[in-house]
Structure 1
């Protein structure tokens, strides 16, 4: 069904707000938004309109628009007057970075002020088929297309076709490598800029942020130890001596580049992260005098994430090309070999989630089976959609009404955790990185493994859960660790397969961690948890 753009003007009254809320709900249902998310978005827009009515007075004119732009459903509210942000709440404001990223994945509305107009915009996730259906269609098209070409074309024609397909494959590799560096720089810079407003967010937010980063690092290191026997490498330098320590220090201090330009040209991820942190803190120190630069970084970051989304949308077609090329030149082993990292990842996710359920159950006196049942609904919504934003409403409901986490902690911890705490995502990147190093016989060492852990944790913490971002993270890590571009062939397929479990397990791990945080603060409603 085609969704047309609709624009209406209202006078701010309680009746008009009710009408806008009803039309918002109808529009969200028509584009297939999950029910809990519909009610959350409707309530947030109603509250914003009521604040505007209190501020600008009854009768102020508001323009209401709904439609689809670049395959993203959006809702826009605009009222003329002096700047007034109805979405800001001192007690739970998450800062420019968090709010802009949450709005970019369709979780929260976003406020802007432009040419005397106060504008609230809700940009929902891009309309797309279920990732499983997309993958199956891509595989079917690739295998059937390759089979038909193999059946009807001569060997000479097949060779000519391969010559034509190779530039397409190489173009995709170059695109990933070219986009990875700048987008990583922008996402880390934007993340650092958020710390300024997080300082005023209360210690809860900062403590959670630190805890999430520490937990991600510990989980990644433990996963590395468990994975080493599964992904053996031929060229491992296991000697640990003063030279090893010197190399580790060189890796640590080598993040400082000789100049600003070279890291972008070479795609040096550690150096780019260092530059992003340095520039981000410099802009924070600049205070209000750097506001214009902060807005430029924020807008550039949003543009970079849009580019990542476009790359993700192109990935299914790349899978088709890879399969056709693999069938015609009889070289599908790279894609077939994905079973090993996929199996290792599934096992690790099971161990990780089971361990967390047992730990939280033991600490709270609740049966792990009962905890799993409480997580089931939001887990399967995230698993089937491969997306955290589709399950956000069910996630909120689970935290507050089933796990006994107080609403204030949910409102702060859930958005920060969904953006920063991605243990399953970090493990997925680590698993495939070790697989690629083993498959392509890359020379590794102790400092190589240390760099792999550092990059996996940092890139997952800085990168939001948006389509295409993980592909760029793989490209950046492979470039830094000396893994050939050919390894990106399997990444495109593996990223889609990993995505289902990543979204669901990350969400479940976050919910369980928030239970423990609520218990540490003495705010956990154990009656609800044990009910």
Structure 2
């Protein structure tokens, strides 16, 4: 329960309200700097409520409270409506020069930001100021949604008639999930483009940028090599697979996935040639991230080169970057709902019998991914000289977001937010994270290697040195330039299997359980992105070490 006070609609009550808020925030252990900023806004809100009061006898309520670690100040008073813009105007000097007002607007953007919400309903102004936003509230909501989704889906699968459960999934869960993913696909390509282009455009020293880019890409390739080795040795420790399972292969079940992979060729040459697009529209239509990154780098370098003569070009990129980030932030607020419908949909559609047939395949891949995450933390400590536990304590919300969304691109906003919390400079993470979401697929490397060896044992394919080398090269290429289609990694397995003599239809054995594997491999993917980003930032002196250790 929060603390509440009622004030009269008189100017003298503003001071009383501010003192009440100050004491309440101090009791909740809010940092003094944050209290000062909050009181600055609260004072203007109270003054505006008093000034706009239509009935001087009416009362203004002020309540300080919150849930799950969040702290909010809520005001309610009868009066003429006003907006956040009116609050901002109160800070501006009417007679001052334009430069002073621009500086003040920038200050207000930092003070108010997304923390002030104002609405008018039934003649009452209702205002909310977020004094503290907990890092755990979103995580708790998502966890609750995860377990509720699994529970609800399981109950519907067990107790409802099959057709009814399928109808609920098809007509309710699938449309909600599809709408969200379509919205995410709509904004992710512009987000990646604007983030990278704006970051490069702001980089005055292009030589330093080139050095950072080379370090990031080299580190990503090195971790991919390690991941492939981890996948191989994990399978050697737990060589799962029974030849009797070959009889369960279903060509019909695998048909749709195989169709997606038609025309896709595993080729280093084609991957490199395909980086350069023939037009500027198609990469955005197909969400071809390698081509989008190429165009973003090209635009960023060009804008940086002409920024002295045309400074508005750099400003335009920054505005577009802020715009796409804001839209993405809005979408991310719906993640708990999407996690619920995703888990419920998965439980309803999953063939529970397949869980028995390939039960060991899932934990083996999970173990491989967990080993890789431990290796990341060791790399962070050895090559970055940083505390791995401190990294985990700040980055785990992004890891959980990646786990629940099972998409590196969908988890990108959360990764960016947590890298900022780690003290990584925007100059590094705005380039490295979108790049990593495309080419650094270490979790995918592990699942590709384990799945291929799993199939080889089922179909009695001898795993010779030549087979291992073929798997290694093909996995490396697929991890960098995986097909830009839904269920891309499953398609990669279908493309990889024939390289060692396994029929592509073998993927029907794992299709039902692949969403579960996809969750953990995405978690490993984004963790690797963040570790590389943090280490490179440290070596480039673009990491706030004090913030990292705080």
Interval containing the TM-score (normalised by the shorter chain): 0.3 to 0.5
Of the two, which has the highest radius of gyration? Answer: 2
